[in-house]
C-alpha cells in the first residue's frame, strides 16, 4: 500500500479549520486536524510545501517511522506549527490503518478501558445570574462537570466571556487584527473566590467545577488563588501560570491542594518532564492536534500514569471534529483517563465534518465506524473558504501587554 495524495483543506464554517486528507493507492482516505487558531496558514504552508511531497510513495502503515522521519528528519524540532503538521499526518495514518483493519481506532489502541467518556462544558457570564443561567443551560444539555469563567467588576472583557469589541470600543478590526482586552490581576484575585462561593451555594457540593486562569498569574498569585479556592473543592485550576516555566508550578504546589492542570500550549513530552517526574500537576491537558498526534499522546499518558497523573485532552471549538474524534478514541482506550473538554461545534461544522462520535447525558463516545469516524464533505468545505481571524490580546491599564 502506498500514499498517492496528501491534500490540505482549509475551511471556515464559522471558524477556520485545517485538515490533511491522505489517500492511498487502494483509495482509502485518512483525515488529520492541523488547526492552529490564529496562525492557520503557517501550518498550511508547512504541510503543503514541506510535508505532503515527502508522503507520496510512503507506506501508510509505517506510522511510527513517518512520525520519527518528520520530527527528527527536519532537524528543526518542536513548536506548534511543526507539531500540528506532524499531528495531522499521524492521525490521518491511524485513520487509514484502522479503516483497513475495519475497526474503530480505539480498538487498535488496546480497546475500550471504559464504556463512556465524561465531558465538561464551559459556563460563563459577566454577572452571577448570567453564570447561574449558563450553568443551568449546560445541565439541561446533560453536562455533569462544568468550567466556570466570570467577568470581573471594573474590567470590560475577560477570557471565556464572549468579546467582539476592543476595550476602546472598536469592533470592525476583529478580522484584520486581534481585539484588545483589558486585565487587572488584583481585581481578578479578589473576585473569583466569591464567584465560586456563590456557585457552590447555588448548585451544591456535588457538581464538579473547573476554572481556567489562562496563564495569567505569577507563581505566588496562582498559589494564593489555589488556596482561596480550596473551600469550593475545584476539580482543577487550569493553566494558572505561563506555560513555559515548569518550575513555577512547584511553588504553586507547595501552597495549595487545589488540583492543577496544564498543557494546552505544550507540543512535546519535554514540556512536561519536571511536571510529571516531580508530580507537580494532576492532569495533562494537551491537544492531539498540537502535540504531534495520537502516537505521542499515548506515550504521554502512559508516562503520566506512572505518577498517578490523568488525561484531560484539550477540546475547545478550535479543535476540529477530526481532532476531537482522535481525542475520543484515546480517551476510551487509556486507563488513566481524567475528563474530556467538549464544547461541541456549530451545525454547519458538523455537516462539513460528519462524525460518528456522540454526546449523551454528559458523556461522549467515539462511535464504532472504522477509523476515527469522520468524513469530510469537500464541496461544503470549499463553499466556506478561509477567513482571517485572531485570538484577542490583553493590555494592562498602563498599556503594557499581558498574557491572554
Ligand atoms: C481551553 C482553552 C481555549 C483556548 C483556545 C485558544 O481551555 O479550552 O483555554 O479556550 O483559549 O483553544 O485557541
Ligand atoms: Mg484552557
Instruction: Give the pLDDT of residue 185.
Output: 97
Taking the CA of residue 315 as reference, the ligand 1 atom at the shortest distance is: 8
- Find the ligand nearest to 240 CA: 2
Which of 38, 237, 318 to probe ligand 1 with, by most ligand atoms within 8 A of CB? 318
- All three cell numbers of 351, joined, read 455537516
Tell me whether residue 214 is one of the annotated catalytic residues. Answer: yes
* Atom from ligand 1 closest to the CA of residue 212: 7
Local confidence band at 177 (pLDDT 50, 70, 90 cut-offs): confident
pLDDT of residue 316: 97
CB atoms within 10 A of CB 293: 28
Q: Does residue 172 register a pLDDT over 80?
A: no
CA distance 198 to 193: 9
Q: Hey, which of 288, 316, 324, 389 would you mutate to test ligand 1's pocket, going by the most ligand atoms within 8 Å of its Cβ?
A: 316
CA of 101 to the centre of ligand 2 (A): 35
Grade residue 83 by pLDDT with cuts at 50, 70 and 90: very high
Instruction: Please indicate whether residue 46 is annotated as part of the active site.
Output: no
% of the chain with per-residue pLDDT over 90: 94
Strand-pair partners of 118: 363
The predicted pLDDT at position 36 comes to 98
Q: Is the pLDDT of residue 123 over 70?
A: yes
The alpha carbon dihedral of 51, 54, 59, 65 has a sign of: negative
Neighbours of ion ligand 2 (CB under 5 A): 212
Q: What atom in ligand 1 is closest to the CA of residue 317?
A: 12
Ligand 1 mean position, distance from CA 214 (Å)? 8
- For residue 302, CA distances in Å to 18, 307, 336 come to 28, 9, 8
Rounded mean pLDDT, 102-112: 98
Residue 241 pLDDT = 98
CA of 66 from ligand 2 middle (Å) equals 30
Q: Which of 46, 106, 120, 159 is catalytic?
A: 159
> What's the Cα-to-Cα distance from 278 to each of 24, 174, 272, 306, 385, rounded to whole Å?
44, 42, 10, 11, 46
Cα of 378 from ligand 2 centre, angstroms:
31
In which band, very low, low, confident or very high, does the pLDDT at 170 lie, cut at 50, 70 and 90? low
- Find the helix or strand (DSSP H, E) in which 219 lies: helix 219-229
Reported confidence tier of residue 250, pLDDT bands at 50, 70, 90: very high
Identify which of 33, 235, 314, 319 to mutate to test ligand 1's pocket (most ligand atoms within 8 A of the CB).
314
- pLDDT grade for 363, boundaries at 50, 70 and 90: very high
Residue nearest to atom 6 of ligand 1 (CA): 37
* Average pLDDT of every residue of the chain: 96
Kindly state the cell numbers that stand for 251. Answer: 511553588
Strands 146-150 and 17-24, how do they pair?
unpaired
With a pLDDT cut of 70, the percent of the chain lying above it is: 97
The ligand whose atoms approach the alpha carbon of 316 most closely is: 1
Instruction: Kindly report, residue by residue over 13-65, the tens digit of the pLDDT.
Output: 999 999 999 999 999 999 999 999 999 999 999 999 999 999 999 999 999 99
The pairing of strands 358-360 and 363-365 is antiparallel
Position 102 pLDDT exceeds 60: yes
Q: Which residues line ligand 1 (CB under 6 A)?
A: 37, 212, 214, 264, 316, 318, 341, 391
- In this structure, which residue's CA is closest to atom 13 in ligand 1? 37
Ligand 2 centroid – CA 214 distance (Å): 6
Catalytic residue among 214, 215, 290, 384: 214
pLDDT of 157 strictly over 90: no
Nearest CA to ligand 1 atom 3: 316
**pLDDT-based confidence at 161, cuts 50/70/90?**
confident
Distance of CA 346 to the CA centre of its chain: 17
What residue's CA is closest to ligand 1, atom 12? 316
**HSE (CB half, 13 Å, CA atoms) of 385?**
0
| Ligand 1 nearest-atom number relative to CA 147 | 7
| Ligand 2 midpoint to CA 286 (Å) | 10
Say whether pLDDT at 181 is over 50.
Answer: yes
| pLDDT at residue 169 tops 80 | no
> pLDDT value at position 41?
98
- Give per-residue pLDDT as tens, 279-291: 999 999 999 999 9
What single DSSP character describes residue 298?
Answer: H
Q: pLDDT tens, 294-339?
A: 999 999 999 999 999 999 999 999 999 999 999 999 999 999 999 9
Question: In order of start, what are the domains of the chain with their CATH numbers?
Answer: 3-104 (3.30.390.10), 108-369 (3.20.20.120)
What are the tens digits of pLDDT across the range 231-247?
A: 999 999 999 999 999 99
Contact 91, 288 (CB under 8 A): yes
pLDDT at 273: 97
Rounded CA-CA distance 392/106 in Å is 36
Enumerate residues 6+ apart whose C-beta is below 8 A from 57: 2, 3
Q: Whose CA is nearest to atom 8 of ligand 1?
A: 316
Place 173 in a pLDDT band, splitting at 50, 70 and 90.
low
CA of 390 from ligand 1 middle (Å) equals: 12
Residue 260 has pLDDT above 70, yes or no: yes
Separation of CA 130 and ligand 1 centre (Å): 21
Amino acid at each position: 500500500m502506498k500514499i498517492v495524495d496528501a491534500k490540505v483543506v482549509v475551511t471556515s464554517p464559522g471558524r477556520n479549520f485545517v485538515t490533511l486528507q491522505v489517500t492511498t493507492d487502494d483509495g482509502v482516505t485518512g483525515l488529520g486536524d492541523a488547526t492552529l487558531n490564529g496562525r492557520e496558514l503557517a501550518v498550511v504552508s508547512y504541510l503543503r510545501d514541506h510535508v505532503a511531497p515527502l508522503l507520496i510513495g510512503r507506506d501508510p502503515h509505517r506510522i511510527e517511522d513517518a512520525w520519527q522521519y518528520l520530527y527528527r528528519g527536519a532537524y528543526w524540532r518542536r513548536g506548534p506549527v511543526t507539531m500540528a503538521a506532524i499531528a495531522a499526518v499521524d492521525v490521518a495514518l491511524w485513520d487509514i490503518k484502522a479503516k483497513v483493519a475495519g475497526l474503530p481506532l480505539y480498538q487498535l489502541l488496546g480497546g475500550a478501558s471504559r464504556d463512556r467518556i465524561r465531558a465538561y462544558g464551559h459556563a460563563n457570564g459577566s454577572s452571577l445570574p448570567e453564570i447561574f443561567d449558563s450553568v443551568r443551560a449546560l445541565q439541561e444539555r446533560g453536562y455533569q462537570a462544568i468550567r466556570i469563567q466570570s467577568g470581573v467588576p471594573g474590567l470590560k472583557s475577560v477570557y471565556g466571556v464572549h468579546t467582539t469589541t476592543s476595550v476602546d470600543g472598536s469592533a470592525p478590526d476583529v478580522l484584520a487584527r486581534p481585539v484588545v482586552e483589558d486585565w487587572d490581576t488584583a481585581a481578578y484575585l479578589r473576585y473569583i473566590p466569591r464567584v465560586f462561593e456563590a456557585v457552590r451555594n447555588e448548585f451544591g457540593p456535588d457538581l464538579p467545577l473547573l476554572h481556567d486562569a489562562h496563564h495569567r498569574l505569577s507563581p505566588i498569585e496562582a498559589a494564593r488563588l489555589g488556596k482561596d479556592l480550596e473551600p469550593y473543592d475545584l476539580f482543577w485550576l487550569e493553566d494558572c501560570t505561563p506555560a513555559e516555566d515548569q518550575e513555577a508550578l512547584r511553588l504553586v504546589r507547595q501552597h495549595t491542594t487545589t488540583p492543577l492542570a496544564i498543557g494546552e500550549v505544550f507540543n512535546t513530552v519535554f514540556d512536561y518532564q519536571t511536571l510529571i517526574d516531580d508530580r507537580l500537576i494532576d492532569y495533562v491537558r494537551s491537544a492531539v492536534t498540537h502535540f504531534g498526534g495520537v502516537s505521542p499522546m499515548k506515550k504521554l499518558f502512559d508516562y503520566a500514569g506512572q505518577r498517578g497523573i490523568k488525561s484531560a485532552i484539550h477540546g475547545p471549538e478550535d479543535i476540529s471534529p477530526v481532532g476531537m474524534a482522535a481525542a475520543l478514541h484515546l480517551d476510551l482506550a487509556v486507563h488513566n483517563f481524567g475528563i474530556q473538554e467538549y464544547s461541541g461545534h456549530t451545525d454547519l461544522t458538523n455537516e462539513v465534518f460528519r462524525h460518528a462520535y456522540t454526546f449523551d447525558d454528559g458523556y461522549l463516545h467515539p462511535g464504532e465506524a472504522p477509523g476515527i469516524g469522520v468524513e469530510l464533505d469537500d464541496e461544503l468545505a470549499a463553499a466556506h473558504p478561509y477567513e482571517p481571524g485572531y485570538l484577542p490580546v490583553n493590555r494592562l491599564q498602563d498599556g503594557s501587554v499581558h498574557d491572554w
